[in-house]
Amino acid sequence: MTNRIVLALVILYLLLPLGATLVFGISNGNGIGFSSYQEIFSDHDFSATLLLSFELALASTVLAVVLITPTAYWVQLRLPQARPMMDFLALVPFAVPAIVMGFGLIEVYSGNNTLLSILSLGLVPLLSNPPFNVVNTPQLLVCAYVIVSLPFVYRPIDNSLRAINTKVLTEAAYSLGSGWWRTFLTVVLPNIWPGVISAALLTFSTAMGEFTLAELFGIYTFPIYLNVTGQNNAHKAASLTILSFLLTFLCVLGIIFLLRRRPGGAKQDERLDIVAIK
């Protein structure tokens, strides 16, 4: 009974602000109306910025998961002594504010620094000049989003890898003739799906709501549109907040549904059980 009361209080605590925002958004001087939503759906910037933010968030999610998951598995399996360094790198985005990182990226990729050219083996000058100029581009913003979301990606995946017996599963798969990539994709990855789902959800949510980096890069994303709207029309901004919450929630549910569909179904699970037993 106590648990249900606590759960009800938590739900009430979470829903009350949303309810108040919803009421404020649909209210006007004459009562209740939905004129604010009509203005939102008729505004071209709404659909354009929402689509752009969705594309950036999706690209950041895919890139972060693809980069971090094999790396964490390799460190767990072959380089356990490098784990402290990975833990430190995963905490760096917490210590470096987004505005500092944004200015740093702009400074690095907008000039010709001899030291940076030497350290990057010529990569930075290549990306700083046409036709590969990446300054203030969505591509660089996606990379910045991946850096910001690094702690939210690495930690769930690393915890999932620690929860399973990674070394035993890998050695069993090797003994059955499986290679590294096949072992990773068909044995290890399905076993750490919960961590991958958590990493994807946290990365997507972070990228969808990130404001500072997009503002510094001069890219008109959905959070910037929401901020501009709030400065001009408070009722429309409130309705837009509720709408953005619902859209993000639906996207999160979609990601959960897609990531939980394991390839191979029951047969895949049977193969995993056989490998784990052997």
Q: What is the Cα–Cα distance from 241 to 21, expressed in whole angstroms?
A: 8
Q: Report domain extents, the chain.
A: 42-277
Q: Which tens digit of pLDDT belongs to each residue from 104-162?
A: 787 777 766 666 666 565 666 666 666 666 777 888 899 899 999 998 899 899 888 88
Q: Looking at residue 270, what is its pLDDT?
A: 43
What one-letter code names the amino acid at 272?
Answer: L
Residue where the block lists tokens 């200015």: 103
Each residue of 191-229: pLDDT tens digit?
888 888 888 888 988 898 888 899 988 899 988 988 888
Closest to 249 in 3D by CA, of 7, 39, 18: 18
CA distance 175 to 204: 38
Measured distance CA(140)–CA(138) in Å, rounded: 5
Question: Domain 42-277, CATH 1.10.3720.10 — does that match?
Answer: yes
Q: If you count DSSP H runs as helices and E runs as strands, how many of each does the chain have, helices first?
A: 17, 2
Q: Are 73 and 166 in contact (CB under 8 A)?
A: yes
**What span, in angstroms and rounded, lies between the C-alpha atoms of 94 and 150?**
9
pLDDT for 59:
94
